[in-house]
Amino acid sequence: MKKKTDVLIIGSGIAGLSFALKIAEKRADLHIDILTKSNNEAGSTFRAQGGIAVVSDKVNDSFQKHYQDTLKAGKGLCNPKIVEMVVSQAPDRLQELIKWGGKFDTSADGSLNLGLEGGHSQKRIVHRQDFTGRELEQTLLTKIAEYPNIRIESHHFVTDLLLKDNLHGPVCIGAEVLELKTGEKIKIRSKVTMLATGGSGKIFRNTTNPSVATADGVAMAYRAGARVINMNYIQFHPTAFYQNGPNRLFLISEAVRGFGAYLVNRQGKRFLFEYDSRGELATRDIISAAILSELKESGEDCVFLDCRHLDHKKFSQEFPTIVSYCNLQGINLQTGLIPVTPAAHYQCGGIKTDKFARTSIPNLFASGECACTGLHGSNRLASNSLLEALVFSHQASEYLTPRIDRITSIPEAQNNTDHKIKLPEDSLLLRSFKHQLVNLMSYEMVYQSGIAEKEKAWQQLQDIRSQLHRISKSTDCSSNFYEVRNMVFAAILVIEHSLIEKSRKKLKPQLLQGIKL
């Protein structure tokens, strides 16, 4: 594999793939490499059920309404200029997807079939049944295959960013990569590096996120010195299919409540109107908090989604993936209820970027869930995430294509200490660290625990970090080690940012900034 490229993209979801396409369409002369640590269908994009929030109905909807819904969901902590930019670009980004081959559900008259989700004042969710993400991932991959200057490498784990100091501080010049199939560790030099690595859901005991959501981008950016903010703004999805024990929980889409399903307790009582006048159409943060309040009072493990009163023919057409999963679990939705509970779902904070997806480190960009753009505030409005990735990858491409030739070419290193390493099996110690981590991280720890409890958890995580540091000094490290290391970094940041917000004062000076593992 070559060790020099023009554009290095880490991650193969909608953020990374759309960025690659945008660059390739304008610059056939540039070499574009996309690295993914698993395969192209392992990330969150492929599993996205909902859709893309786009103002399409100009009679009943408007950019102003979408703008206001986003601000309200984000509790006033969104950047208004960023919200305006994203909302206004949505129709153009949707048309590009359609031009690339994306197919979305339409009504009998040929117009887009728009769904309704919590927090939205109007129907504006453009979707493909309940597998929109799969449709988009496959569309983008098919389109990318038309461009010979784009290369996708699976099973390549990026361990750290490469930096070079200049007069104004560090500049990103690529990444250090572990080739998982060969065990070779290499350094790939690039003019531009884009982090599109997704979120951090796997640091929590229960999450809707896939196994690859281990905060890799956030952790490596932080270690490199990039600014990371608001990591305590973790969104919990209120309706994950309940299963006992630490699991990746199957998501029951927001759109199911938009379709008319009720949330009820074990007695069959709808309870959400006691917390918010919008009932089932309140935002995710409100519904998650309401469910957890009900469970604390009742002592039960879950509440339920009631779909029995719905038109089941239409429901099956709209949500075939969810119906199939429920059937596999022995639930007939015409007679039974879906057990649900809140689970960690989306990272609203992350690597701080500007409107062009630039981080605080020159030549390092970030898009998608790993980035904190200012769109979401403290709570993401449903179906704004795929849209955000499209818009910021577009913005980055618009900024870069006329400027990339000005970036000094980084020569390929001939002797860059590449070497073969052993890939040990998952050790008992690493499993122990992961077990300790996920048992510490919960909704309660982020949003309800007091300062003393948070500080205790923060110190426990620091102790794990120190042990990981010692391990890295004495042995070759596997991809599992790097994932655990990244998860611990992210968890420390979540608690640290939560503490700062809760106490309104800075922590003790012996924090992470500048520490290298």
**Gap between the Cα atoms of 193 and 12, Å rounded:** 13
Residue 167 burial (C-beta neighbours within 10 Å; 0-12, 13-18, 19+): exposed
Alpha-helix runs per DSSP H in 5-62: 14-26, 44-47
Tell me the CA distances in angstroms from 410 to 307, 338, 407, one per residue in order. Answer: 58, 55, 9
- Give the Cβ contact number of residue 153 at 10 Å: 14
Nearest C-alpha neighbor of 471 from the set 417, 505, 430: 430
SS3 letters across 181-230: CCCEEEEEEEEEEEECCCCCHHHCCEECCCCCCCCHHHHHHHHHCCCEEC
Nearest C-alpha neighbor of 156 from the set 34, 30, 243: 34
Identify the H or E element spanning 153.
Answer: strand 150-154
Contact 330, 351 (CB under 8 A): no
Across 354-388, b (16+ Cβ under 10 Å) vs e yields: ebebbbbbbbbbbbbbbbbbbbbbbbbbbbbbbbb
- Extract the tokens encoding 193: 């590096």
User: What would the DSSP string read from start to end of 326-375?
Assistant: HHHTT--TTT--EEEEEEEEEE--EEE--TT-B-SSTTEEE-STTEE-SS
- Check the CA dihedral 90-93-99-105 and report its sign: negative
Residues catalogued as catalytic: 284
Nearest C-alpha neighbor of 364 from the set 416, 312, 325, 400: 400
Contact 343, 364 (CB under 8 A): no
**Gap between the Cα atoms of 446 and 215, Å rounded:** 16
**Gap between the Cα atoms of 517 and 481, Å rounded:** 11
